[in-house]
Structure 1
Amino acid sequence: MRKIGVLTSGGDAPGMNAAIRAVVRKSIYEGVEVYGVFQGYQGLVTDNIHKLELGDVGDIIQRGGTKLYSARCPEFIEPAVRQKAIENLKAKGIDSLVVIGGDGSYRGAQRLDEEGIKTIGVPGTIDNDINGTDYTIGFDTALNTIIDAVDRIRDTATSHERTFIIEVMGRDAGDLALWAGVAGGAETILIPESPSDMKEVAERIESGMSRGKKHSIIVVAEGVMSASQCADELHKYINVDTRESVLGHMQRGGKPTGQDRVLASRLGAFAVDLLLDGVHGKAVGTENNKLSATRFDKVFEESHMIDEGLYRLSRELSI
């Protein structure tokens, strides 16, 4: 194998740059040329592919976002469009590709692998919703961003004796809400994986008020409902002064934590090792802190599950 390509796709996640850096430097260390595909799958189709050198990935490990950019390319599901991308890769002698992204990015990678381009997926998404890995690149940074916001909001919630409803990302997965809620001491955590009972939420708030509690924090994943919808539902059962805070895309930005930088570095280098060993059609990850590789089809077979024990603990601690 002479040349490896690398791209980032889907929503950006802190640590993607660290993963790009690892792919580039590991490839060059092994004597392999490496090419960056700019603007994700769209860049494959438009031939926005350029050779990368060591200096191209200098001073990026600490930066959020992605040096290679990301773009939507819904037309990539069309065989003719993918064929154009494959032709662009082969014209440069690239027969292997590292794809950094989430579930949708993996599906594109699987198609390319089936059609002759050897691919390895690297999990880059703040939602931590990829099967086959304990943690995804960007999750820890986004989590700490949310925790910092919760801590700040609690200060004003206490001062004004209010119930604050904080909406975080997580359309289909509740890991961000769950972990941030536990770490931030939230009284209520609402996640897509568990039915929401607003009457019970109201009763929990009333119970706290009866023993002198002056404020409450509710963390809700966007996949459950919006913060404003949550407030409307809550007011059906209890008369409390509420404020809503939607953290939005600030959760995607910022310097990656040490945890995300190390995880990205390990997974990026591991992806190159697998390709050099002739392994492809798999997604890398860590399981019990050990590097692992899972076939794409197995990744898609099951949804990432929340830690049920942690969810139970969150309810036990929010009495």
Structure 2
Amino acid sequence: MDVAREAGVSIATASRALNGGTRKVRKDSYAKVAEAARRLDYRPNAFAQAVAKGTSSNIALLVSDISDPYFAGVSQGVVKAASERGVDVSIGVASDGAEELERIRGFIASRPRGIVISESENVNDNLRQELEQELKRYADAGGRVVFILDRDMPFPAVDVGNEEGGYAIGRLLADAGYRRPVILKGNDGYRSSGQRYRGVVKALSESGVDIDPRAVANGGFRRETGFAVVSQMIRDRLLLPGEGALYDGSGADCIVALNDVMAIGAMTALRTAGLEPGRQIGVTGFGDIPYAVDVYPALTTVHLPLQGMGAAAVENILLGDDEYRGLGHRLIFLHAKPDVILRDSLPRR
């Protein structure tokens, strides 16, 4: 640092004097740094000062899709909890690993007090290691990182029982008399999709349900792909009883979507084909987004405390230094065994 060299002090001393760190600087050293800064016309970085003092006025939040009700619910929780504590929130959107890394680098450059990352992680992302390194450097400089859903990185994460929720849905299906499910997964690399899928399959298997391999499809965690997949199954004569249909010609009796917007897209596809969701084919979702109860028929789903997840992330960003450091890679569970909300889309058979 030029100021440190000009003043004849260490870089650490110059940084504390200029940026207001918590450790004290001797008066003579402070005077040397101030004079050197005046001669060099140095202007301190306000963000660096804020981080050094632990009083930065904002939190950065990264989500996959702000228009998705799941991420909108989490975002509302973050913004509300931060506002109650007098902290502003900057929101960024990233749809893949490359965009995520770019947005994180942009956040870090602005030196927020902390970064909350709420993304649908692809475990096959080849930029994962690079992202982890960027976040470690940020944390080493005093920043805070909290993930919403576990990414298996050395930072705390607010998590929920995705596999347990999937298991609960599978048990509900079997107990309600369903034996021929179509399962709409997220992208194969999505950690949360894999967890939910394992839970559903385990519960169905324990109940003696063998899943037709053709009945498992990638719905992409999007409404439009849920619609497209089910529409294609109907056109291919897989869904309804008949020659070539799923389950040796018996067709499917329910659609298990591993998030709510896919389920809603699937219900629209059924209605478009003249089929009545809930009466001819049962439908379930996952997440309990706000309008899951408002669609017709109301959607059976697994409740996730979306706003609570966002609020918990903020609470952990704003912990004291020792408390935050003590978290390490700790999973902060909300609803380790999520509740299933039974509604009209899945009547007992």
Q: Which has the higher contact order (CA 8 A, sep 6+)?
A: 1
Query: Is the strand fraction higher in 1 or 2?
Result: 1
TM-score (norm 1): 0.43
TM-score (norm 2): 0.41
